[in-house]
Amino acid sequence: MLHSNFIIVGTLIGAAGSVAYLINTVKGKVKPNRVTFLLWSIAPLIAFFAQINQGVGLEALMTLSTGFLPFTVFIASFINKQSEWKLTRFDLICGVLSLLGLVLWMITKVGNVAILFSIVADGLAAVPTIVKAYKHPDTEIAWPWIATVFGVILTLLTLSTLTFANCGFILYILVINILIYSLVQFRLGEKLQQH
């Protein structure tokens, strides 16, 4: 088990990737899906407050950063029109389902249930970006996604006990970032479509 200060290091590594993504959004080099990034800012922030409510300590910092930084990317997507990704009906349906998950959290108001619904909401919000990374990997850059993976791994290595409250959301973040990184870096969609 690593010292809890590595949570801060892990969060900073993930933040470095997010800042790079933010800069590339402003430059128009990446085209974030606005539905995804807006909801990626809401769901983790709810999970963060639920974690705090459940008594989770410093490890909640990673969850906080995974909510705040996507919000900056969402805002940046309005600065450069070349960074705009065309929204489809599919994107909007995923967004509505994601919001439904957030409403279910508000109804239950139970910490672990809130974290679960935040994972569901965040996952549904991720679907448009996963599809975009699969079909159009050239609209993304890979390394910010893997930076978050390393940050999450460091955070997980600081935990003395694993509970749903302290690691459920960040385990989900680990999986989703590995998936998007793989789709972009290895252009898996293009390779599968060729066969």
Instruction: Place 17 in a pLDDT band, splitting at 50, 70 and 90.
Output: very high
Token look-up 């600081």 returns 158
Q: Compute the average pLDDT of residues 126-152.
A: 95
pLDDT of residue 111: 78
Q: Please name the residues in contact with 189: beta carbons below 8 A apart, sequence gap of 6 or more.
A: 133, 134, 135, 137, 183
Distance, CA of 17 to CA of 27 (rounded, Å): 15
pLDDT digits (tens, 9 = 90+) for 81-101: 777 777 788 888 877 877 887
Q: Please name the residues in contact with 80: beta carbons below 8 A apart, sequence gap of 6 or more.
A: 25, 26, 27, 28
Distance, CA of 154 to CA of 176 (rounded, Å): 16
Q: Sign (positive/negative) of CA torsion 148, 150, 153, 157?
A: negative
Instruction: Place 187 in a pLDDT band, splitting at 50, 70 and 90.
Output: very high
Distance, CA of 117 to CA of 154 (rounded, Å): 25
pLDDT over 80 (residue 150): yes
pLDDT digits (tens, 9 = 90+) for 44-68: 888 888 889 889 999 899 999 999 9
